[in-house]
Amino acid sequence: AYWNDFNKNGYVSDKINIHTYNDSTQESIYKDFLSKANTIEKPTPPTNPDNPNDSDVILGSDDVISKEDLNQWLD
């Protein structure tokens, strides 16, 4: 399995660690999250390196994947 139940096993480094909450814990966990939400840094919009005032995103040839690669990943 690719995931780990964090509540039962604690953190496992090579798995996706899933946290589950029940009715008695979800409100306090949510309030804890809200108290920390303002510490999450907002993302910086992308800029054109040739013209920093231009915020249009430009894809270079190395940013484009082939149809074959995309289909392989989706399969």
What is the C-alpha separation between 41 and 17, in angstroms, rounded?
23
Look at residue 61 in the predicted model and tell me its pLDDT. Answer: 67
Residue 55 has pLDDT above 70, yes or no: no
Q: With beta carbons less than 8 A apart as the criterion, state whether 46 and 59 touch.
A: no
- The Cα–Cα gap between 15 and 13 comes to 6
Judge contact between 17 and 7, C-beta under 8 A. Answer: no
pTM: 0.34
Residue 5: beta bridge partners?
A: 18
Inform me whether the pLDDT recorded for 29 exceeds 90: no
